[in-house]
Amino acid sequence: MARTKSTNKRQRSIGSTQSLSAFVKSICDVMRRSNCASALQYVPELTWILFLRILDAQEARDQEKAEVVGSTFSAALQSPYRWQDWAAPYFDKPEHPRTDDGKPFGWKRQELFAAGDGKLFDFINKELLPHLHGLDIDARTNLPNPNASRKQRIIGRIMTAVERVRVDSEANLRDILDKVHEISIDHVEDKHFFTLSQVYEDLLLKMGEKNSDGGQFFTPREVIRAMVHTVKPTLGQTVYDPCCGTGGFLAIAYEHIARKLGTGVISTDIDTLKHDTFFGREKENLVFPIALANLVLHGIDRPNIWHGNSLTGRATYAALFDDGAPKTFDLILTNPPFGGKEGKDAQKNFAYETNATQVLFVQKILGELAPQGTCAIVLDEGLLFRTTESSFVETKRKLVDECELWGILSLPGGVFSTAGAGVKTNLLFFTKGKTTQKIWFYDLSHVKVGKKTPLTLAHFGFNTDGEILADDALPATLVAEWQEDEANAGKQFPSYARVLAQRGRPEGESRYSWSVDFAARRAEARKQMQPLKDEAGELKAAVIDLKEQLKRLKKDKADAAKLDALAAQIREKDKAAHELENKAAGIDAAVFDLKAVNPNTVAKVDSRTPKQIIENIEAQGKIVSDSLSRLSAMLGQKSEAAEAR
């Protein structure tokens, strides 16, 4: 006998990011007991389910808007592949909403339920997923379908990594679908301040924590927000990330611009913002569809993301990017992978070949940054201070020759530990078009951070809108050392946000910030190098003369002893010339050690005498000894009591 099931639960109200976060966590809990134990498993599974729910709501909203103005609407999905057909809960009530072809929401799901166990899985795995995969790929040619709409291509790409439902119980899957259905389009719209996207970002963080290499695709969002507040993207700029991971830089730049535009923005500006502003590239098959979904959930309903290897130029799927992406970009926000190793197929595309991924990405960025364009980039400490590899040195030379490197912010160690990467990092800011003259540094390395005490936007001195925080709103871990110094009584704390606007002026210098006259450093290096190069040049000229002399002697068949002596003299002078050149090259390379070394660090000096130190050690030893004696006495009393029983 066919089964019938209706769900008459009243849809709850989810009014805040906190309540929505708890609600999404309850969905993840169901997934965890259904063959999705790790965040690396349940986040991708939730991604496609959540995306299809929001897509259905967006389609319904867009259809209503089209009907109001009398325009035609072409849906990306047709029955029975829409969420409202196969996933929405079925209600046996007259007031239950209906699809545009007159069927009740959830009709296909109810039909599958009535047909028996396993039919929902069969439909999803054998009908729905193949249909969604085929939206943007022509099955005959295996190439992008030229007739696919932009939205159909996005659907196809987000679904491309989903081969089958991972949840292993239909009852649990129906529970998940019911819960996801309660999430509405309002949780994505600007007026609710991206509550769903914020919750989704928390899930992406969990995925980064579970992956030992998570830092390669997840950058802590508070770091991104500080970078975005520093460069202040505006409408009309093109914003790009050549290794966009889960899309965090693009999503937060979108939030920033949308917030600044406010509620009175005209429709053409909204179209520009959502369609023609944000561009990215991503290599990882797991991460690419998550990036697309993340951007859609943030409100960027037409993400321009290229799937493939940015460094080799080899595309996996380019149809979302190649149609209208510029060659260069006004603003680049990025975090290249740390410690990656590239093969010759990538290295051959760059002037300074190396297998170091981040070095190649810097070279790529210099080529893709528009004139007067600005880049904000996360780089590991090794790239900044390494001067023994020519590719590192020459890449940095190209950067400071072609761009004004105007800021370097030294982050604390452990900032990326929450995303599975423990590398010491820095933020670099540069603008193309001028040679670097002075570099302004800011040091945050004194702040202690870890998984339970992460770096926050307040540590940079910004509030959520990018305004400067008052001192009483700054974290204690940031200001404690400063406030201990009596000389700072009554002074404002020189937070990064506060002194950033003063860089290049005396007001921009503080205990935590300083400037380096890079042009003077280079001039001083040239001054030190010149005598060495001159002496090397003289030796090389002498070697040329000696070689001519040796040639003549050999022709005249001079005795061997004389020839050997002259050859030894040539080798000696040649070696001396090379040593002088290497010494000059070392001086030149040292110029490009860009590591932030704070000259204003206040060292804590132990002023106690040796006698006082010994007395302190003895006092601490007595405390330990007394504690052990008391502990032994307590244990003895317990033992006696036990024996008495």
Report the 10 Å Cβ neighbour count for 169. 14
Is 70 exceeded by the pLDDT of residue 1?
no
Residue that has been written with the tokens 């921009």 in this structure: 508
Q: Are 76 and 69 contacting, i.e. CB atoms less than 8 angstroms apart? A: no
Q: Residue 190 to residues 41, 303, 409, 454, 517: CA-CA distances in angstroms? A: 29, 17, 32, 27, 44
Percent of the chain at pLDDT exceeding 90: 56
Residue 197 confidence (pLDDT): 60
pLDDT digit string (tens) for 362-392? 999 999 999 999 999 999 998 999 999 999 9
Local structure of residue 233 (DSSP, 8 states):
-
pLDDT tens across 411-431, in order? 998 887 654 456 789 999 999
CATH number of 191-455: 3.40.50.150
**Residue bearing the bigger pLDDT, 299 or 234:** 234
Q: Taking a C-beta distance cutoff of 8 angstroms, is the pair 431, 406 a contact?
A: yes
Mean pLDDT across 17-37: 82
Compute φ and ψ for 374, nearest 5 degrees. -120, 145
Helix, strand or coil, per DSSP, at residue 278? strand
Q: Using 50, 70 and 90 to split pLDDT, how confident is the model at 208?
A: low
Q: How far apart are CA 81 and CA 131, in angstroms?
A: 8
Task: Compute the distance between CA of residue 84 and CA of residue 103 in angstroms, rounded to an integer.
Answer: 10
- Summarize pLDDT for 314-330 with one digit per residue, the tens: 999 898 887 779 999 99
Please tell me the predicted confidence (pLDDT) of residue 428.
Answer: 98
Break the chain into its structural domains and give their ranges. 1-187, 191-455, 456-511, 524-590, 606-645
- CATH number at 1-187: 1.20.1260.30
Q: Which residue has the higher pLDDT, 577 or 416?
A: 577
Instruction: Output the pTM of the full model.
Output: 0.84
The Cα–Cα gap between 201 and 298 comes to: 10
Confidence at residue 149, expressed as pLDDT on a 0 to 100 scale: 86
What distance in Å separates the CA atoms of residue 168 and residue 120, rounded to the nearest whole number? 12
Q: How do residues 583-620 score in pLDDT, each as one tens digit?
A: 999 999 999 999 999 998 866 666 778 888 888 888 88
Do 1-187 and 191-455 come out as alike in CATH topology?
no
pLDDT tens-digit series, residues 124-175? 999 999 999 988 887 778 777 888 888 899 999 889 888 999 999 999 999 9
